Amino acid sequence: MIDEFLMTEKAVVDMQLEKYFDYLHKKEKDLLLNDFINQLEKFIMNKKAKRIHPILLNTAFSGIVNPMYLEDQIEQIHEVSIAVELLHSGHLIHDDLLDDDKLRRGEPTFHMQLKNEINQVYKDVDLPRKDELIRLYGRDMSILGGTQGYLLGLDILKSSKFPEKTKLLAIDEYTKAMDYLMKGQLMEEYMSYNNITMTLEQYLNIAEYQKARLFEKSTKIGAILAKGNLHYQIKPLSEAMLGMGQAHSIRDDILDLEDDIKAKQKKIIYILAISNTDEDQSKRLNEIYRKENITKSDINEVKDIFTKTNALKIAEHLAKNLLEQSRNYLRDIYPDLNRKEKVFFTVFSDFVYFREY
């Protein structure tokens, strides 16, 4: 049921994004800026994008607003919802650049997309330091592209037709989401460059800042625009989404386990394992993670250590506990969400835990 709902809602968001990019193209007269908008559009309109954040915003709004007024405001909230997708996309552009990832959703990451584009321009041109020039172009334009995503989303909220006071509250939550994303990235980069292995508490903090808070803020913006009760509706819904966001991050790491080992990323499974290893296991993990290239045999050995230390089971239990807490918060909402949306948020917690992608 939830897959069908997500697919239907994703189609609505995709259509709204297409309309928005058409508007940007018509509004922008400068050819160079229009070309840059094309590049952003190409990256953001990836067919594999899930559109979870605008779906959460739309569903929170529909769950709280008086059903009598929903039809009159549905188009308006759909227009606003893509603000959080643009914020999310801006963060992905910066995150992929910092990690030097080559692919996102089966397509080139934004900086690789730009490098490929400029490479075609210079294909038959003999230039000194051409490779470096191409690399810097991808880097510099991605820094600008990610920031532009943040600002475009903010502009959508500012330009919406919702009452001024409500709109300002929504904008405040949007800017808080930006702040959390950047702080999470700063913490992760600082620890990576200083070769600091995260504690479980630090991992959960970063997961909160980089994943859970965008779940929470997307949902909260929808609830605020629906004029929900701050204490009895918005607060418990926000707390529920924080738990789901952290569980989503843990589930991502479980699903990406092999890729993370290959990239020598010390995420939650590693953190949980290292606190339960014996001397030989600890030594072997250190040896493998210091190797320049990790083989398939190394990956299997690491996975075996993770299994023997119960790291995978502990991570799964942690995600399950976070989701149970989230469901408890959902039960605290009063007046309750409209029936269809209450079912969605409850089932969404199961989707986070059991999903295979």
| Max avg pLDDT among 74-78, 188-192, 351-355 | 74-78
Residue 108 phi, psi dihedral angles, 5° rounding: -60, 140
Q: Which amino acid is residue 114, in one-letter code?
A: L
Q: Which residue has the tokens 């995150």?
A: 95
Distance CA 254, CA 251 (A): 5
Distance CA 225, CA 71 (A): 15
Q: Which residue has the tokens 């990956």?
A: 299
Mean pLDDT, residues 128-150: 96
Distance CA 121, CA 109 (A): 19
Maximum pairwise Cα distance, the chain: 68
Task: Fill in the DSSP letter of residue 65.
Answer: S
pLDDT in tens, 232-291: 999 999 999 999 999 999 999 999 999 999 989 899 999 999 999 999 999 999 999 999
pLDDT in tens, 50-106: 999 999 999 999 999 999 999 999 999 999 999 999 999 999 999 999 999 999 999
Given a cut of 90, is residue 299 above it in pLDDT?
yes
Asked, as a colleague might, if the bond just before 67 is cis with ω within 30 of 0, I would say: no
pLDDT in tens, 96-135: 999 999 999 999 999 999 999 999 998 888 889 999 999 9
pLDDT score at 197: 82
Mean pLDDT, residues 183-197: 91
Given a cut of 80, is residue 42 above it in pLDDT?
yes
1-196: CATH superfamily:
Farnesyl Diphosphate Synthase (1.10.600.10)
Cα atoms in the 13 Å half-sphere on the side-chain side of 218: 30
Mean pLDDT, residues 300-329: 96
How many CB atoms sit inside 10 A of residue 9's CB?
A: 20
Mean pLDDT, residues 319-335: 96
Task: Check: CB of residue 225 under 8 Å from CB of residue 80.
Answer: yes
Distance CA 65, CA 266 (A): 43
Q: Which residue has the tokens 């996309």?
A: 89
Distance CA 215, CA 243 (A): 9
pLDDT score at 52: 97
Fold entry, domain 229-357: Farnesyl Diphosphate Synthase (1.10.600)
Task: Check: CB of residue 60 under 8 Å from CB of residue 341.
Answer: yes
How many CB atoms sit inside 10 A of residue 27's CB?
A: 10
pLDDT score at 208: 96
Task: Check: CB of residue 138 under 8 Å from CB of residue 115.
Answer: yes
Distance CA 100, CA 120 (A): 20
Both structure tokens of 280: 């030989």
pLDDT score at 126: 87
Mean pLDDT, residues 296-314: 96
Where do you find CATH 1.10.600.10 in the chain? 1-196, 229-357
Both structure tokens of 66: 């008086």
